[in-house]
Amino acid sequence: ILPLVSVNQILLLLLVLTVCAILYNKVHQVPLALRNETVDLESPEEMEEEIPVVLCAAAGRMAAAVAAISSIYSNTEANVLFYIIGLKTTIPHIRKWIENSKLKEIKFKAVEFNPMVLKGKIRQDASRPELLQPLNFVRFYLPLLIQKHEKIIYLDDDVIVQGDIQELYDTKLAPGHAAAFSDDCDLPSTHEMVRSVGMQNTYMGFLDYRKQAIRDLGISPSTCSFNPGVIVANMTEWKHQRITKQLEKWMQRNVEENLYSSTLGGGVATPPMLIVFHGKHSSINPMWHIRHLGWSPDARYSEQFLQEAKLLHWNGRYKPWDYPSVHTDLWENWFIPDPSGKFKLTRPDS
């Protein structure tokens, strides 16, 4: 057994060594960033939040998606990841268009949409067959196509973005809301346009109120509608509320009961969303969705108003890559010719 004095001496020595070690480290401390060590820190670019933007690339109108992407990419410093949704037959073309143009620097993922998910859910309607194209319903299936993001932006292809997409992404969604849209009664400047082209901006223009199933919803026909061509969506809420299943239920009821049709104002993709999201959606800043540019080849907004707009939408029959159409110069600013030469603009002299 060691003498008591010896144990005390050992403990004292250990204490002195510990104090010396602490003092040495303090005196010789080197900033973390200067040490010759591998430090697992993300670069500022990697830490920057990714903004997922979903667009469709449909056959015959891929120039629309390309122009929309071009306008978004050119007007932001944000870390945008484009999800380009297409059919199996269209994805190779859009991929080649992007990779062989000035858009080759963008971050994008091409995602195939399987139209078989729509089998038995779409009522055939001859008045506007283009509205029955499978990609019109991509917005119903966002969580199935886009897996890893909490919040996303969905845009129709016939838009041009003139503002910073970060601003749209920062749209606040109220608790319990799965999506934000622009209400169709939101801007006085758009009311003149709506009246001049005879477009409806209430539920009456989209749903057939002669049908009992529609009246049973208890929604006044004069309720202001919204446009689902620009959506800021919360994927967690969307899945929690089973939004896709709800939308499919109304699609199937329409097949059986003809509750809405493209002879009414809004085609066939908007009405189910008006029903499912009634009273349960947040609002997008109205300047982030100036629409109706495609409803008449004659009706025009003032140039000053359009310059102030953050996003322009040519919803309607008259698209800016076709003829006739209005404000085509604003769209053509962002048009990128098809490197393969398959797509060409339709113009009076072409």
Helix (H), strand (E), coil (C) string for 12-35: HHHHHHHHHHHHHHHHCCCCHHHC
Q: What is the structure's pLDDT at 17? A: 73
CATH number of the domain encompassing residue 108: 3.90.550.10
Which residues, 6+ apart, have CB-to-CB distance to 139 below 8 Å?
154, 228, 231, 269, 273
What is the rounded distance in angstroms from the CA atom of residue 274 to the CA atom of residue 262? 15
> Cα angle at 267 between 261 and 270, to 5 degrees?
110
Q: What is the structure's pLDDT at 157? A: 97
Asked if the structure places residue 328 within a domain, the reply is yes
What's the order of all strands across the beta sheet hosting 107-112? 107-112, 79-86, 50-56, 151-155, 226-234, 179-183, 282-283
| Segment (H or E) for 169 | helix 165-169
Q: What is the structure's pLDDT at 118? A: 94
Asked if the structure places residue 253 within a domain, the reply is no
Asked whether 272 and 251 are in contact (CB, 8 A), the reply is: yes
Q: How far is CA 114 from the centre of its chain?
A: 19
Q: Is the peptide bond before 324 cis (omega within 30 degrees of 0)?
A: yes
- For 55-114, the DSSP string reads EE--TT-HHHHHHHHHHHHHT--SEEEEEEEE-TTTHHHHHHHHHTSGGGGSEEEEEE--
Q: What is the structure's pLDDT at 199? A: 62
State how many domains the chain has.
Answer: 1
Q: What is the structure's pLDDT at 9? A: 74
Asked whether 139 and 291 are in contact (CB, 8 A), the reply is: no
Take residue 335 and report the two structure tokens written for it: 């048009």
Asked if the structure places residue 37 within a domain, the reply is no
- Structural domain boundaries, residue 143: 51-185+226-240+272-333
Asked if the structure places residue 5 within a domain, the reply is no
Helix pair 91-99, 62-74: axis angle to 10 deg: 40
Residues of the chain with pLDDT under 70: 1-7, 19-47, 125-131, 186-199, 261-266, 350
Asked if the structure places residue 193 within a domain, the reply is no
Count of positions (residues) in the chain:
350
> Cα angle at 312 between 84 and 187, to 5 degrees?
130
What is the rounded distance in angstroms from the CA atom of residue 99 to the CA atom of residue 110? 12
Asked if the structure places residue 212 within a domain, the reply is no
Q: What is the structure's pLDDT at 91? A: 97
Asked if the structure places residue 162 within a domain, the reply is yes
Take residue 19 and report the two structure tokens written for it: 């104090």
Asked if the structure places residue 314 within a domain, the reply is yes
At 179 the three-state DSSP class reads strand
What is the rounded distance in angstroms from the CA atom of residue 151 to the CA atom of residue 231? 10
Q: What is the structure's pLDDT at 97? A: 97
Q: Rounded to two decimals, what is the model's pTM?
A: 0.84
